[in-house]
Amino acid sequence: MHTALLGTDFRNASIELLEKISFDRDRVTSFLNRLPQDAPVKELVILSTCNRIELYYSCEDHLVADQWLKETLASFFQVDLLVLEPILYRANCEETVTHLYKVCSGVQSMVFGENEILGQVKDAYYFAKQLGTTGPYLNKLFQSAISVGKRVRDETKVGQGAYSVSSIAVDAMAEVYPDLRSKSVLVVGAGIMAERAIRKMALLEVESITVVNRTFSKAERLAQEYGVSVIPFAEFQQSVPNFDVVYLATSSKEPLLRECDFSGKLVKSTLLVDVGLPRNVSSDIESFPHIQLITIEALQEVANRTIENRKNKLSSVMAIIEKEFDNFHHWYDHRHSLSI
């Protein structure tokens, strides 16, 4: 049995393509539950974030499994295989292990050293385990990778002061509005990316922060914890023109804001910051007067200016990864010898 990886990320695919093949919890459940008993993929974990979509699996034949998984993905998302194929990367055996170790360490992220990814990997693994699609190989791989991510952060401090996508987004707001503290901000969503943005804005003493979410109790929790305001989701779209900045971080399958939501309503300039995947803001909004839209792609430029001072820790990170890889390889060889 071998471990392998098929995926894509922000370096290889446009945001338009990423959102076409992104997984939320419902899609992960549907995809994993559809795996036939005779599938060439024996174990499977799906990692889907705003910057990467990766499928980790075990198989007996790399070529057969890779082709089957590509075709299954194309069919599931109704995307032409000729469109999907060029954006995909793959890794087999040792490369898969090293890649996941790097992902968990934050050195493969858009924001070098960021901490969010480790939690996202944990969630992806435990969810797949709950659904019964992991086994001895992926259990060992992910448990060791999560351990690597923790060790890297403890020993190298690569994540110390590290920027997350949420933090970069707040920096982008401040570049547009140097007086961000006096602006009114609406945060759409109540997940970790929304909470981290609220936390950073609170530290910057932004005076007017409001949160909205489909599940009111989740928005209310953030409002109580950070001392911000909350509005019902039913009032969301009609309230948008009242804010200087709208930060959107949800996993909604459909855009939450379209051009028609602003027609005849906008009385001042509005900055929209969309870190959702799929996109929370329809692309037709970009041409609307008085609206400035910042997407994940635009945030890359801001991120590049923040990471150089942490890249000098890469050699220390790689030393840990190489040591832990040797441990995994020893386990793999021992298990493989028992199965012969």
CA distance 147 to 141: 10
Alpha helices in the chain (DSSP H): 15-20, 25-33, 62-77, 81-84, 94-105, 116-131, 136-156, 165-176, 192-203, 216-226, 236-239, 296-304, 314-339
Report how far residue 3's alpha carbon sits from residue 90's, in angstroms, rounded to the nearest whole number. 11
DSSP 54: E
Please enumerate, as own/partner, the contacts of 328-337 that have beta carbons within 8 Å and a separation of 24 or more: 328/97, 328/140, 328/141, 328/144, 329/94, 329/97, 331/140, 332/140, 335/136, 336/1
Amino acid making up residue 324: E
Backbone angles phi, psi at 225, to 5 degrees: -70, -35
CA dist., res. 271 & res. 176, Å (int): 8
Joined tokens for residue 34: 């559809």
CA angle in degrees (0–180, nearest 5) for 72-73-74: 90
Helix axes 192-203, 116-131, angle to 10 degrees: 160
Other beta carbons within 10 angstroms of residue 237's beta carbon come to 16
The first and second tokens of residue 315, run together, are: 């050699």
Q: Is 59 considered catalytic here?
A: no
Q: What are phi and psi of 21, to 5 degrees?
A: -120, 25
Q: Are strands 229-230 and 245-248 parallel, antiparallel or unpaired?
A: unpaired
Q: For the chain, state the CA radius of gyration.
A: 21
Annotated catalytic residue within 50, 59, 104, 260: 50
Residues with a catalytic annotation lie at 50
